[in-house]
Amino acid sequence: MARREVYHRAMERGRSEPLEWTQALLLSALAAAACLGGCATGSLIPPAYTQADLKAECDRHRGWWRPDELRGGYCDFRGP
């Protein structure tokens, strides 16, 4: 008895897509969705330094602390 490949209903309509390809595509899509979902729900990592720590470091190095709502602030150095 010869071994035949199993095709899904689309084969009856004239398509020649084997069931294995459909299952592989579905499995890949589910794996990609699981990876994206897992990355989206990760825990938040707090910043290494607070704005007060950064301001104090800037003052120690004789800079001017410039508060900024978008970036949180930066240290400005004026050259000689």
What contacts 8, CB < 8 A, 6 or more positions away?
17, 18, 19, 22
Name the DSSP class of 74. Answer: E
- The pLDDT, as a whole number, for residue 59 is 93
Measured CA to CA, the distance from residue 64 to residue 80 in angstroms comes to 14
One-letter amino acid for residue 64 of the chain: W
pLDDT at 61 (0 to 100): 92
Q: For 65-78, how does the pLDDT look when each residue is reduced to its tens digit (9 = 90+)?
A: 999 888 888 999 87
The tens digit of pLDDT for each residue in 7-54 reads 556 555 555 556 677 888 888 888 888 877 766 666 677 888 988 999
**Structure tokens of 43?**
């825990």
CB-CB neighbours of 51 under 10 Å: 13
> pTM of the predicted model, to two decimals?
0.43
